[in-house]
A and B are shown apart, each in its own frame.
Chain A
Amino acid sequence: MAVLEIRDLHVSVETDQGTRQILRGVDLTICSGETHAIMGPNGSGKSTLAYTIAGHPRYTVDSGSITLDGADVLEMSVDERAKAGLFLAMQYPVEIPGVTVSNFLRTAKTAIEGTAPALRQWVGDVKTAMTNLKMDSSFTERNVNEGFSGGEKKRHEILQLELLKPQIAVLDETDSGLDVDALKIVSEGVNRAKENTGLGVLLITHYTRILRYIKPDFVHVFVAGKVAEQGGPELADRLEAEGYDRYVEATA
């Protein structure tokens, strides 16, 4: 049972025009097995929250805290966070020329577990996970994200999620750019991870359509760098009907 706690988080970024505040006091608690949807308009700071949890060096935490089971996440390096059980499925996965998916996955698994996985078992696990995500087996010999279509990139993120078995996963707009079929396949992957490992999910999205396949327990409306309202799944339905205008006008 893992708990990720975010308290009064303030984050800024250096830009050409000077320091820019993005997150302005975020409070969130995510437990194993729970699915939290974070919904908000473009530019509200959702990706900033995701990157800050993962430890991207571009973002500066000005105040507040992030802890995982009480341990100070902000003190951890990026790889230490991953080893502690945090995972970020990126909105824009990065190409790594010359590094094959197979080599990448094995290196990551070895890093997370501390020892190299038993080869036969590992090859089987990768194969099963890929079949489930309807990925061709030739995929493992391609270079990480190089020449992948949008859908392939997102499947590859979820493949890693299923193989690395984190405790808490942040999914940053995993639904964007996916057609209905791909959206279902990717959602099934997330649901499998929830079922198999009791994964806690922070599901960042702009639209409600992914919530048809991944059922949230909590919905948080994110506006101007903080949570403007929270509730149960019914809040998503309301957003579907009314959009974000109400919140955006309130903060403008």
Chain B
Amino acid sequence: MSSATTAPAQAGANKNLHGPGSTIHVQTRNERPASFNLSDFEPVTGREVDWKLTPVAALADLLDATIDGAELTIDSTSNGSASVSWVSMSNDAVGLAGVPEDRASSIAWSSTENALLIDVSADDVSEVSVNRSGLGLAPRAAHTVIRVAPFAKTTVVLTSEGQASLSENVEIIAGESSQVTVISLQEWASDSRHLATHFIRADKNASVTHTVVSLSGAIVRVNPQTRLAGEGSSVNMLGLYFADSGEHLEQQVFVNHEAAQTKSRVNYKGALQGQGARTVWIGDVLIGPHAVGTDSYEQNRNLVLTEGTRADSIPNLEIKTGDIAGAGHASATGRFDDEQLFYLQARGIDEATARQLVVRGFLNEIVQQIPVASIAQRIELALDRELEGIA
């Protein structure tokens, strides 16, 4: 694929592999302020490293002061013995996975009255789904905690639709040897705005799969960060986004390899179509001084379907120990490949169908890894709808 982005995107393909012992410093991610106190965060100007690619002017009401933090109306289902309940923000389940690192997250944290706690007890196997819809366009704050006890196995699907101006934090605590799958699907109305931070903490030998799917909304910024806190823990962070005209879809992904023998994979894929379609992917990986034996790879690929779009793709890798198994990253943003279209058309396939095949094929790598069939299907249908317009 050829390059088709404007600066500062990573034009074309770039692939870097860092073998054991190499050290590169791109950015010192862990020196960012982290605090539960809103007063510790300066007002957002849009010049900050974590806000400079975000349309902050259109987010002023979510970045200024505390907002409505009343309980959201949600629909939830649960099988297995997982419990879903509202608890006070002073509950000891809150604050286990992370500390706010930006002003939006801090405002949401201090505004929220009660947190939604999804509690999975030890050795339990369960599936939980939570849907938020019809929240309205007035600013709202929310907090969700997914706490999975040791040796449990759980899948949590968080879906969002309709109108919203939502700023939220999601904490995911994966206890020792637990297997946790979380899917966050954003299919908001076209005038919705959504700022989210997902804090993931993986304890010893825990295995987490975290997927962010953003299909629509005016501004959707979902920043998942994982602390591989326990030895032998692993995370697979997946993302899929499809930005149409006028949509800003952003994700800042952070993996912090704190403990030894930890493994991370990050794979985000996005498509852009239409005037002003905008995506941002920033992928930070920090391999800490104790994280010997780390195995890490992150990649982001964007497919540009029309003129007038912009995709930023910025991978950062910081290694503070010499003894790792491997770390690498790849980033590519490319146009539709006309040779692929020609090949398919030369087999009788019309142009519109050929384009759909190519785009769906490109995104398939992520869709195929979504373990909940109904969600995979929902994504495929949404993609079909998006792609009807591109011929």
Contacts and interface: CB of A to CB of B under 8 A. Distances in A.
Contacts of B346: 54-55, 78-79, 81-82, 87-88, 90
B123 interface: no
A209 interface: no
Most B CB within 10 A of own CB, among A57, A103, A111:
A111
Contact of A107 (B339, B349, B351): B349
Nearest to B347: A108
B348 A111 contact: yes
Given A96-B357, A98-B362, A98-B363, A90 B349 contact: no
The secondary-structure label for the interface of chain B is helix
B203 to A, nearest CB: 34
Contacts of A63: none
A143 B342 contact: no
B348 A97 contact: no
A82 B345 contact: yes
Given A77-B345, A99-B357, A164-B348, A94 B362 contact: no
A83 interface: yes
Contacts of B363: 98
Given A96-B340, A96-B343, A143 B361 contact: yes
B89 interface: no
B365 A98 contact: yes
Given A57-B342, A78-B342, A82-B345, A97 B361 contact: yes
Contacts of A160: 347
A33 interface: no
A94 B361 contact: no
Contact of A164 (B347, B350, B357, B365): B347
Contacts of B340: 94-96
Nearest to A160: B347
Nearest to A112: B348
A112 B358 CA distance: 19
A82 B347 CA distance: 6
A98 B364 contact: yes
B342 A94 contact: yes
B335 interface: no
Contacts of A87: 346
Interface string B65-105: 00000000000000000000000000000000000000000
B245 to A, nearest CB: 24
A57 B350 CA distance: 15
Given A96-B361, A99-B358, A112 B338 contact: no
Contacts, number: 80
A151 interface: no
A67 B378 CA distance: 46
A99 B361 contact: yes
B342 A79 contact: no
Contact of A111 (B337, B353, B361, B362): B353
B360 interface: yes
A56 B344 CA distance: 12
Contacts of A79: 345-351, 354
A111 B338 CA distance: 19
Interface string A56-95: 1100000000000000000001110111000110100111
Nearest to B364: A98
A57 B339 CA distance: 10
B89 to A, nearest CB: 43
B342 A108 contact: no
A81 B346 CA distance: 8
Most B CB within 10 A of own CB, among A77, A90, A98, A112:
A98
A100 B319 CA distance: 38
28 contacts: A54-B346, A55-B345, A55-B346, A77-B351, A78-B346, A79-B346, A79-B349, A79-B351, A79-B354, A83-B348, A88-B346, A90-B346, A93-B343, A94-B343, A97-B361, A97-B362, A98-B364, A99-B358, A103-B357, A104-B344, A107-B344, A107-B349, A107-B353, A108-B344, A111-B349, A143-B361, A164-B347, A164-B348
Interface of B: 337-340, 342-351, 353-354, 357-358, 360-365
* Top-9 shortest CB links A-B: A98-B361, A98-B364, A82-B348, A78-B345, A108-B347, A111-B348, A99-B361, A112-B348, A94-B343
